Amino acid sequence: MSDQTLGAGPKRIDGRLKVTGKAPYAADHALDNTAYGYGVFSTISRGRIVSLELDAARAMPGVIEIFHHGNFPALHHTPSSMAKGNKVEETRLPFEDEQVYYDGQFVALVVAERFDQARAAARAVKVRYEEEIPRANLEQGVKAHGTKKGKGNHSRGDADGAFERGAHQIDVTYTTPVETHNPMEMHSTLAHWPDGRLQVFESSQGVVQQKGAMAKIFNLAPHKVEVISTFIGSGFGSKLWMWPHAVAAAAASREIKRPVELVVPRQQMFTTTGHRPETKQTLKLATDDQGRLIALSHHSVSTTSYTDQYVETCGSVTKSLYSCDNVSITHRTTEVNRGTPTSMRAPGAAPGLFALESAIDEMALEAGIDPLTFRLDQFAERDESQDLPFSSNHIKETAERAAEQFGWHQRNPTVGSMRDGREIVGYGMAACNWEAIKRPCDAHVALRADGTVYASCATQDIGTGTYTIVAQTLVELTGVPFERIEVELGDTSYPKGPISGGSWTTATTLPAIAEATRHAIDELKTRAVRSGGPFEGVDVEALTFDNGVLSFDGKRMPFAEALSTMKLANAEGEAHTEGADTSKYSYRSFGTHFVEVRWDPLLANLRVARVVSAIDVGRVMNEKTARNQVEGAVVMGIGMAMFERTEYDPRTARVVNNNYAEYLVPVHADQPEVDVILLDYPDTAFNEFGARGIGEIGITGLAAAVANAVYHATGVRVRELPITKEALMGAV
């Protein structure tokens, strides 16, 4: 059974359901009499709807109703508070007015008997617009109306003054494009109103937040809303907060008094369900004559929509990764005609560390110091932005171990000097970093008379393995094996759990599950020593529970038998655990990537040949799923470095490459050998299990490591992602 406890690497308990097609995803749920919605989406990016011609569409087979700004029911805005559990990213409701703010915005919704009928009729709706010239990208937005202050700014010392005094200086600007999450499973909603209650099946990373937002928008008491998301085909952040389609489906269902299913087409997954915004980041670094960092400025502008301000906090890591007395971090935004951006795997840090870790490389080279040495000498010992110690920080060990494994010390630092046949080899490295957060959480656990253990929590498993590590926690505390464990997640009828985001699900959920388990065991013991119980009269403190068995003074009884003896169905425990105490420590995760690239100058072909990543995320709860998270994030980081870019036509602000063929992510053939080293030092100051979370850190820094390796191979410093052939052609 030890292979199922925490820290071991058991397979996912839901793996078989998934690979056999038996795991029901949102749109797989079937309700009697379901009608199907299909959107009519704006084909302009800025302007207003003048008229909608609906007659032809209305006359088509199966059409039940067509909703638009002229007939959509009046609803309410959610205050959009994460703390209150009702956050959305785009506060404007669908069909709220005739305004168009972005390409692919819902302008009408056709509801029909069948999906194909709804789609055909949606195509038959003719929309006339009064079109204005859109702001199609960051540059156009800044030119039109400048920038606005964002959040997360930080300043200490005098960065500008220190920069001027620097012996070595760099002043460079990096850009990153819009990236789109592109989870395999489409955003989908199946909504219905049984007995005046709203029940929604959604592909969601945050059922509790969606429930709260729905309650506000439809003016319902919270208990009248249930959101269910038992299996999710990934989200990468795009499913953290509810998007307009879910409101449209729920409202349409209420109006036509039938269940309505609405799946967002792939093309509109690029427009109306969030994206990582475009960024422009200026880094000014200076060292003294010894190569010590004395100034560090990181000023970024990111794009947001005209309806909401989303801030990509590119400098979130910059303020604490390196020791430096003079630091200035600012975030600003500019509005463009795109849908509202949202968190995408390691928001802020992913584009931010591309810039920072590229700039550190440039700074090290400028100062004539090996990039690894430069970093090892200057990684911060404590969080200087908060003046707090780190709870646990082994970044130097990650760098040293990964460097050793990778063979960094065999590197010839001269640009273009390492060749292998037709290819030029480049070595690059970068640090990775992500915050560790633990939020409040509720959980329920029951020891049941049939010998099974049950746990529930309204968090989600977005494919990362949450079901499995909850089960492992139960194994650890009760000794009951997987075969007799049942875990239910992803339904707001369970105790309140966190969003599956910020890499905080593990650190937040497991302590609550553990606490509830202990309460259930206490309940079992309390009952067992009472009159009529199997351990009647025994001091409850002296009764032990070990491997599913109660024992005292040689008498042993499995908990199932004890419950049966007492004619009890179960012994239950509830728990509420609080967020981490952030007054004593700064909690962060650390790591280092080493990347080998190969550049074939005669074919203009760049590939990543090898990656070694060492990661310090506290204790590893499941060796298999943890490694899988880092490997996946590294591959996604390769995509960020070399392929991903949502292209907008600069004249129309419309998305051009809105499909899997033209929006490139790595395929298997692009995946190199990825060697992941997991340090596994428990961070017990953070929570009882010492786990910090591992979903996001792997993508941070990877693009910089690739860019640094590309520089080493080619001598071309690429400051604009993705790194394309054309950026390197003509080099070496």
Report the relative pairing of strands 154-156 and 106-112 from DSSP bridges: unpaired
Q: What is the distance, to the nearest Å, from the Cα of residue 605 to the centroid of all Cα atoms in its chain?
A: 31
Report, in Å, the least distance between residue 657 CB and other proteins: 6
- Beta carbon nearer to other proteins, 103 or 491: 103
CA distance 95 to 300: 33
Q: Residue 96 in 3-state DSSP?
A: coil
Least distance CB 642 / other proteins (angstroms):
7
Residue 724, CA distances (Å) to 284, 387, 604, 607, 728 in order: 25, 41, 9, 11, 7
What's the closest the beta carbon of residue 724 comes to other proteins, in angstroms? 7
- Answer yes or no whether residue 83 interacts with other proteins by CB under 8 A: no
Q: Which of 53, 97, 116, 160 binds other proteins (CB under 8 A)?
A: 116
> How big is the site for other proteins, counted in residues (CB under 8 A)?
35
177 binds other proteins (CB under 8 A): no
Q: Which of 17, 133, 538, 664 binds other proteins (CB under 8 A)?
A: 664
Q: Should residue 74 be labelled a site residue for other proteins when binding is judged by CB under 8 A?
A: no
Specify the residue, 488 or 670, whose C-beta has the smaller distance to other proteins.
670
- Binding of other proteins at residue 172 (CB under 8 A)? no
Identify residue 25 by its one-letter amino acid code. Answer: Y
151: left (phi over 0), alpha (psi -120 to 50) or beta: beta
The verdict on 643 binding other proteins (CB under 8 A) reads: yes
- Per CB under 8 A, 420 contacts other proteins: no
Site for other proteins contains 724 (CB under 8 A): yes
CB of 153 to other proteins, least distance (A): 34
**∠ CA 111-113-116 to the nearest 5 degrees?**
80
Nearer to other proteins, 14 or 103 (CB): 103
Return the structure tokens found at 488.
């239910």
For residue 654, state whether it binds other proteins (rule: CB under 8 A).
Answer: yes
For residues 67 and 108, is the Cβ–Cβ distance under 8 A?
Answer: yes
The residue within the footprint of other proteins, chosen from 291, 428, 495, 666 (CB under 8 A), is 666
Question: Which of the stretches 82-90, 115-123, 445-453, 563-571 binds other proteins when contact is defined by CB under 8 A?
Answer: 115-123
Residue 696 annotated to the active site: yes
Cα separations in angstroms, 646 against 183, 300, 643? 15, 20, 10
**238 contacts: CB under 8 Å, gap ≥ 6:** 181, 183, 187, 269, 273, 274, 275, 342, 344
Binding mask 690-719 for other proteins (x = CB under 8 A): ------------------------------
Residue with structure tokens 């704006």?
42
- C-alpha distances out from residue 727 to 152, 356, 719, Å: 33, 20, 10
119 binds other proteins (CB under 8 A): yes
Contact 626, 694 (CB under 8 A): yes
- Can residue 43 be called a binding residue for other proteins (CB under 8 A)? yes
Out of 96, 574, 696, 726, the active site residue is 696
Does residue number 667 form part of the binding site for other proteins (CB under 8 A)?
yes
| Dihedral of alpha carbons 625, 438, 349, 426, sign | negative
**Does 120 contact other proteins by CB under 8 A?**
yes
Closest distance of CB 131 from other proteins, Å: 12
CA distances from 645 to 36, 182, 274, 531, 723 (A): 32, 12, 14, 69, 10
Per CB under 8 A, 128 contacts other proteins: no
Which of the ranges 250-258, 329-337, 659-667, 683-691 carries the binding residues for other proteins, by CB under 8 A? 659-667
Residue 602 makes contact with other proteins by CB under 8 A = yes
Q: Which two tokens stand for residue 192?
A: 């219905």
> Which residue(s) pair with 228 in the sheet?
201, 491
Residue with tokens 């591959």: 635
Among the residue ranges 362-370, 653-661, 686-694, 711-719, the one whose residues contact other proteins (CB under 8 A): 653-661
Q: Which residues bind other proteins (CB under 8 A)?
A: 43, 61, 116, 119-120, 123, 602-605, 607, 642-643, 647, 649-652, 654, 656-658, 661-662, 664, 666-670, 724-726, 729-730
The residues that are catalytic are 696
